Structure 1
Amino acid sequence: MCKILVLYHSNSGNTAKMAHEVASGAKEVTGAAVRLLPIEEATSGDLDWCEGIALGSPTNYGTVSWQMKKWWDEQPIENWGKRDGRIGCAFSSAASWGGGQELTCMTLNTILINYGYLVFGVTDLTGPQHTLHYGAIQAGEPRQDKEIAGCRRLGRRLAEWVAVFFHGRHDLHPLEQGYDRFGHLKSGDA
Structure 2
Amino acid sequence: MSKILVLYHSNSGNTAKMATEVAAGAQEVLDAEVRLLSIDQATTADLDWCEGIAVGSPTNYGTVSWQMKQWWDNQPLENWGQRDGRIGCAFSSAASWGGGQELTCMTLNAILMNYGYLVFGVTDLTGPQHTLHYGAIQAGSPRQEKEIAGCRRLGRRLAEWVAVYFHGRQEQHPLRQDYARFEHLK
Map 1:74-113 → 2, pairs under 5 A: 74-113=74-113
Alignment-mate amino acid for residue 89 of structure 2: C
Partner of 1:36: 36
Unaligned runs of 5+ in 2: none
Aligned to 1:180: 180
Displacement after TM superposition at 1:184 (Å)? 3.1
Q: Which residue identity is paired with 1:173?
A: H
Q: How far apart are the structure 1 equivalents of 2:125 and 2:30?
A: 23
Taking the TM superposition and a 5 Å limit, the aligned residue runs for 1:59-78 are 59-78=59-78
How many angstroms does 1:146 deviate by?
Answer: 0.1
Partner residue in 1 for 2:11: 11
| Structure 1 residue ranges, 4+ long, deviating more than 4 angstroms after superposition | none
How big is the shift at 1:136? 0.0
- Percent identity between the two aligned chains: 84
Over residues 20-74 of structure 1, what are the superposed CA-to-partner deviations in whole Å (9 max), with x where a residue is unaligned?
A: 0000000000100000000001001000000000000000000000000000000
The one-letter amino acid of 2:94's match is A
State the TM-score, normalizing by the size of structure 1: 0.97
| TM-score after normalising by structure 2 | 0.99
Q: Take 1:14 and 1:136, find their aligned partners in 2: how far apart are those partners?
A: 13
- The reply on whether 1:57 has 2:57 as its aligned counterpart is yes
Query: Are the counterparts in 1 of residues 14 and 140 from structure 2 also a CA contact under 8 Å?
Result: yes
Superposed CA RMSD:
0.4
- How far the C-alpha of 1:185 sits from its partner, in A, is 2.1
SS in 2 for 1:57: strand
> Aligned partners of 1:123, 1:90: CA distance in 2, in Å?
14
1:152 maps to 152
Give the deviation of 1:182 after TM superposition: 1.1
**In 1, Cα distance between equivalents of 2:152 and 2:134:** 15
* Aligned partner of residue 160 in structure 1, secondary structure: helix
Question: Take 1:148 and 1:26, find their aligned partners in 2: how far apart are those partners?
Answer: 13
> Partner of 1:167 in structure 2?
167
User: What SS class does the counterpart of residue 184 from structure 1 fall into?
Assistant: helix
